[in-house]
């Protein structure tokens, strides 16, 4: 992680929040990841979850170490994988 001051980190978080609110999710997520802003990473995960992009949501929940959501999401992903396997048989 790049060493930045608390003030710079706060400014980057505000910028990331503005980008997120403007729908620029990828740009916002890069900032949140760079400054290790857990709440922002969770919001990105929630965004992808709402769009039914479960793998992307899982990636961001893992980055945020949001164990509760990861545990909730795992059965859904497993169910989808089982369905794909059944289709291939």
CB-based contact 69:61 (threshold 8 Å): yes
Domain positions in the chain are: 6-88
pLDDT tens digits, residue range 47-59?
Answer: 999 999 999 999 9
- DSSP run (H or E) holding 21: helix 6-21
d(Cα 75, Cα 68) in Å, to the nearest integer?
12
CATH class of 6-88: mainly alpha
Task: Return the half-sphere exposure (C-beta side, CA atoms, 13 A cut-off) of residue 50.
Answer: 6
Grade residue 77 by pLDDT with cuts at 50, 70 and 90: confident
């Amino acid at each position: 992680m790049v060493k930045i001051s608390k003030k710079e980190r706060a400014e980057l978080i505000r910028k990331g929040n503005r980008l997120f609110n403007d729908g620029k999710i990828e740009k916002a997520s890069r900032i949140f990841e760079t400054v290790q802003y857990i709440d922002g990473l969770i919001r990105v995960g929630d965004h992808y979850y709402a769009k039914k992009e479960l793998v992307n949501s899982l990636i961001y929940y893992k980055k945020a170490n949001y164990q509760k959501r990861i545990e909730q999401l795992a059965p859904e992903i497993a169910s989808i994988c089982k369905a794909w396997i059944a289709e291939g048989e």
